[in-house]
Amino acid sequence: MSLYDQYQKEVLEASLWLSEHGYFGSLRGTGGNVSARITGSDRMAITPSSVKYSDLAPTDICIVDFTGAVVEGKYAPSIEAGIHAAVYRERPDVNAVVHTHQLYGSVFAALGEPIPVLFDEVAFALGEKVEVASYALSGSAELAANVASLLANHANAYIIQNHGILALGKNMDKALLAAELLEKIARIYCLALSTGKPVSLLPDATREMARGLRDYDVEAARKKT
């Protein structure tokens, strides 16, 4: 039994759920990626590159360090491992990362427009706004740097321009929930905009409260490291 079994199983289960619910943009493709931080180390379990999720076994999930070096696994890790590593380095509160090509989130990726969170429960879970990381080629160091440049806002969801979305969580369940909530708010915002009427935004005080809660969570996690 490997030290990484529980992480590999968790990553695969999350990947299959996302694939089955259409979060990767296609049911037969290999888009998107999922990772989990290996507690107490600079390593993560992450999905491999270009292998259908339905064909994977838990032992096929790659173990890599934060430089991208493979520690265990027969497949090459996702080309977006650099983004996941950047998140784990900068955000001690994050233990799971989900990158998807979900439909409504991708609408705003194509527009290059941020999404206001609109509802207080979404604000408390995701942050005060879903920001946009500038486009760069998939798998590039530039793209990882573009994502990393936004992480200081302590949000749990981001849009990647002309690419997809990134959802973060203190555990895998929270990361999946962040992806769900982003899709919910993206769909509602898209439909609201289609009416041509003004969209009602959350009051500044509520958004500031959401920011304060996220800042507190991040700093609390930082003190434990």
Nearest to 147 by CA among 99, 180, 210, 113: 99
Catalytic hit among 13, 20, 80, 183? 80
Strands 96-100 and 33-37: antiparallel
Which residue do the tokens 């289609």 mark? Answer: 194
Q: Where are the alpha helices (DSSP H) in the chain?
A: 5-20, 81-90, 103-111, 120-126, 141-148, 172-194, 204-224
Amino acid at 6: Q
User: Are the C-beta atoms of residues 181 and 156 closer than 8 Å to each other?
Assistant: no
Residue 66, Cβ neighbours under 10 Å: how many? Answer: 18
β-bridge partners, 47:
none
How far is residue 26's CA from residue 97's CA, in Å, rounded to a whole number?
19
Burial (CB count <10 Å: 0-12, 13-18, 19+), residue 57:
exposed
How far is residue 111's CA from residue 125's CA, in Å, rounded to a whole number?
24
Active site residue 80: yes
DSSP string across 17-28? HHHHTTTTS-SS
Active site residues: 80
